[in-house]
Structure 1
């Protein structure tokens, strides 16, 4: 049975925000609100219109410091190019030091009409030294026949006409437990799957549920599906998704599991995909670790040690999720 948690949107407040910003839908924005520090994630730029009525012929995304190992997604009908350069600091990418990489991605030669909408996607990793609560900006420029639409202001102000698309960084495995929990960033390998940066969110006393998060990379030639999870700390566990449905945020159980496509990374994070600990035997305490067994359709079972983190903001609050 599909389980929904509905978070009602305050339309009056939303209207006020739109009035202040000159129309939230007029801005180029990111699909993602948050990203986990130390994890691989997908970044999707949403382009809602052209330049003063003209079609968009090119889209450029600047890659910020702290975001590395970038891979762009090709688009049919567009020419994809990248610009590379040195990083501000080196990164350890699966045992290989990276000192330079993609610093800008450009899709050109397209014809996105002003009254049409499209998305442009990249994938990369957030550096482990970034700070929770920090905004990460991805400045973007649309090029049209006789001008541009620049989304490049990184001040963070909502009053500017051209805010750069951004997301908030939230604590991942590199920031857990204030030195008490494991910070081992080594991925767990199960067949063609690599599971990295697992953590659970600490709970309040008597809170019946909690969320679990991680990244799962499928290096194989065939898709796999996360079909189950189990832990001694929970009476039962489910795989969930949070997503907007019009003006409503819905949380639902993925009864058929979570697909892990071949050659892709799926990020389980607050506000998106996650595993749900239900009927908790007791509170999850920041700094502790718990054992969780994941079951995949093809790869089989694997047991992980999942540190418990005390996340402050930036994610979905599951404290009111006891109606399952």
Structure 2
């Protein structure tokens, strides 16, 4: 079966309205072309009361470089295959990759909730206004439900028995051009959100992680969540929290994403909430700027430019305009 990559705006909007009807939905339902997408498949219940024992996600054509996140207690497998055509990437043209990801062997009771995570890159195969669909197969102690139905143009996902989770493709927000403002001081507007003063600490040679910081203001009426970030030098970027436990500083990922409530400004800073860029392929150098992205549950993928401060810096360089609220 071929899964269409281009769909009308009406179909995209109907899909976004459908999660309450489905067992399998995606936490982030908007993204931009040529960006890294963090797919979080949310499983809210099993199949007719039976526990979920397996989950398979199909990676559609036009989505490349898919990588699954291992899950404790579950066996992870992938199926690789050829793409319909080569796609450009950071490492040159790629013509094959992961086409299917499966987690099996665990047990998620019907009355419990869990998430299955993967990372992939969305190409420009789907134009803004279209939708990329990720068919999901849910296995439950012998029962199987295939969440792979795709709305026809003009059709509502509410009319489908087993709708496939999807991601609406939106145009990327325009990043501030070079030289338009001092490094780290530019504010990026993305829907109801304003991102201010994104910066990263420089790293010594050989370091595999780097911390990122910024502030986000929500002027809308609905909450949003910051779920991930990316820079070219890192394999992945997550939201983490630093906290003290009996006098010991401990760091842990914010699994569901950092909530930005309506009317609230959230500050990511050293010693608190922050971005953690992992598996670096090279040093982050003080004085540089790095183009990257932030991914929000509602606002989608937002391009930003990170200023790079000194190793161990508590704030960006003077003139960065970073404020603590």
1:96 partnered with 2:92: yes
1:107 partnered with 2:103: yes
1:136 partnered with 2:152: no
**Aligned equivalents of 2:216, 2:206: Cα separation in 1:** 22
**Aligned equivalents of 1:251, 1:25: Cα separation in 2:** 32
**Aligned equivalents of 1:52, 1:139: Cα separation in 2:** 20
**Could you say if the C-alpha distance between residues 293 and 213 of structure 1 is closer, same or farther in structure 2, counting changes exceeding 3 Å?**
closer
**Could you say if the C-alpha distance between residues 98 and 106 of structure 1 is closer, same or farther in structure 2, counting changes exceeding 3 Å?**
same
8 A contact 1:133–1:169 mirrored in 2: yes
Counterpart of 1:65 (choices 50, 54, 61) is 61
Tell me the matched-pair count. 237
1:102-143 CA distance string (max 9 Å, x none) = 111011111111111111011010103431121111110111
**Aligned equivalents of 2:300, 2:273: Cα separation in 1:** 11
1:57-87 CA distance string (max 9 Å, x none) = 1100010111100000011111111111111
8 A contact 1:39–1:172 mirrored in 2: no
**Aligned equivalents of 2:78, 2:293: Cα separation in 1:** 24
**Aligned equivalents of 1:223, 1:302: Cα separation in 2:** 18
Counterpart of 1:52 (choices 48, 55, 63) is 48
**Aligned equivalents of 2:211, 2:258: Cα separation in 1:** 24
- Residue of structure 1 equivalent to 2:181: none
TM-score by length of 1: 0.59
8 A contact 1:31–1:46 mirrored in 2: yes
TM-score by length of 2: 0.59
**Aligned equivalents of 1:292, 1:158: Cα separation in 2:** 41
**Structure 2: which 5+ runs fail to align?**
1-13, 179-185, 219-223, 226-256, 282-291, 318-324
**Aligned equivalents of 2:100, 2:51: Cα separation in 1:** 22
- Residue of structure 1 equivalent to 2:158: 158
**Aligned equivalents of 1:75, 1:59: Cα separation in 2:** 12
Give the drift of 1:301: 10
- Residue of structure 1 equivalent to 2:294: 268
